[in-house]
Structure 1
C-alpha cells in the first residue's frame, strides 16, 4: 500500500515538474516588447520559482498560472477584451499571489456580475486593466498584522457601470512610499486617461490605515466611443 502511494506521489510530482517546465518555456518565449508595458516579467519569473518550490501543494496554482499566461499571450494582444475575460484573469492572478502569503491571511474576493448582462462578454475594455491594482495590493499591504486583509470586489451594474474596488491594510513601507512620491500611481492614472478619456472615475483614499482604490468604467459610453472610432 505504501509502495503504491509512493509511486502515485512520484508520478504526480513528475507531472507537476513537466507542467512547470512547459510554463517556463512559454514564459521565456514571450515577446518581451508586448510585456514591458503591461506587467513585470521579473515578478512573474519569481512567481514561477515560488510555485516550483511548493510543487506538492500548488498544483492548483500552476493551472491558474497557465490561465494567466494564456491570457497574456493571446487575449492580451487584442485592443479590447470582455469583462468576463478580465475577471477570470484577475481571479487567477489573485490565486497565484496567495502563494506568497500565509494560508491564514484574510483575502476576500467577491463578484456581483450577472452573466446574462449585455456587456458581460462584449469586448469593450483594454486587457489587464486590473493588473496594477492587484499587484499593488499584495506589494503594499500589511501582511503581518493579525487583523490585516486584502479585499477585491468586482461588480457589473444594471446601468452599464463596471466597478472594481481594492482595499487593503496599508503597510509602513507603503506609508513611506506615499510620502516620497507617487509616480507609479500617476503613470497609471495617465494611462487610464489615454485609454478611457471621460469614461472612467478613479478614487483613492486612506481611512483608519485602510487604503482603498475604486475604479468605475462607463461601459455604455465606452461602447458609443468604440462605435464612433470604428464606424
Structure 2
C-alpha cells in the first residue's frame, strides 16, 4: 500500500510539473508575438498623424482596444471568438491604411456564432506573416469562416522565395505550430502550400 501511494504521489507531481512547464511554454510563445503587432500599429498611427491628423483619433481608439486585448485578454487560456475577431478586424484595418496603393487586400468573413471560445493570438500569426513577407504591389487574401464550432482561416499572398526561407519567417510558423500542438492537439489541421502563392490554411475545432 505504501508503495502504491508513493507511486500515485509521484505521478501527481509529474503531471503538475508537466502542466506548469506547458503553461510557461505558452506564455513564452505568446510573448514572442505581442511586440510585432503593437509596433506595426504604432508606426501606422505615427504616419497618419502627419498626413491625416483628423482621422488619427479613431486609430488611437483602435490601438487602445488592441493593447487591451494583447496585454490583458490574451493572458486568459481562451477568450470569446468575438474579441479575437475584433482584434483581427482592427489589425487588418491598420494594414489597409498602411499599405494603401502598395498592396491589394481582400478580407472576407462569415461566422455563424461569435460566442465560441478560442485561444488568443493564434490567427494573427498567420495574417501578420502574409503582410510582413508579401511582395510589393501584390494581393493578400484573408478569409475566415466559422460554422457549427469549426473555424477555418485561409490566408494567401504572393511571396519572395528568399524571404520564406529566413530564420525570422520560420520561427513565426514554428511558434504557431507549437502553440497549436500544446493547446488543440488533435483538434486542428494546419496546411502550408508554397506554389505560385504562399497559402496557409488553419482548421480549428473551437470550445
Structure 1, unpaired ranges of 5+: 1-32, 224-231
Residue matched to 1:154: 144
Q: Could you say what the CA RMSD is over the residues aligned between the two structures, in angstroms?
A: 2.6
Following the alignment from structure 2 to structure 1, what is the Cα–Cα distance between the partners of residues 101 and 95?
11
Residue matched to 1:171: 160
Structure 2, unpaired ranges of 5+: 1-26
SS in 2 for 1:86: helix
Following the alignment from structure 2 to structure 1, what is the Cα–Cα distance between the partners of residues 30 and 203?
25
CA deviation map 1:147-192 (0-9, x unaligned): x21111111123x2111111111135424438x9834322321221
Residue matched to 1:214: 201
Cα distance change on mapping 1:84 and 1:104 into 2, 3 Å: same
SS in 2 for 1:150: strand
Q: TM-score, normalised by structure 2?
A: 0.74
Residue matched to 2:83: 85
Q: How many Å apart are 1:36 and its aligned residue?
A: 6.1
Following the alignment from structure 2 to structure 1, what is the Cα–Cα distance between the partners of residues 99 and 133?
13
Structure holding more helix per residue: 2
- Superposition map of 1:1-150 within 5 A: 37-41=31-35, 44-45=38-39, 47-55=41-49, 56=53, 57-103=55-101, 105-114=103-112, 117=113, 120-122=114-116, 124-144=117-137, 148-150=138-140
How many residues are matched?
A: 177
SS in 2 for 1:84: helix
Residue matched to 2:22: none
Larger RCO (CA within 8 A; separation ≥ 6): 2
SS in 2 for 1:197: coil
Following the alignment from structure 1 to structure 2, what is the Cα–Cα distance between the partners of residues 163 and 73?
26
Q: TM-score, normalised by structure 1?
A: 0.67
Compare 169-178 and 84-93 and name the one that shifted more.
Answer: 169-178
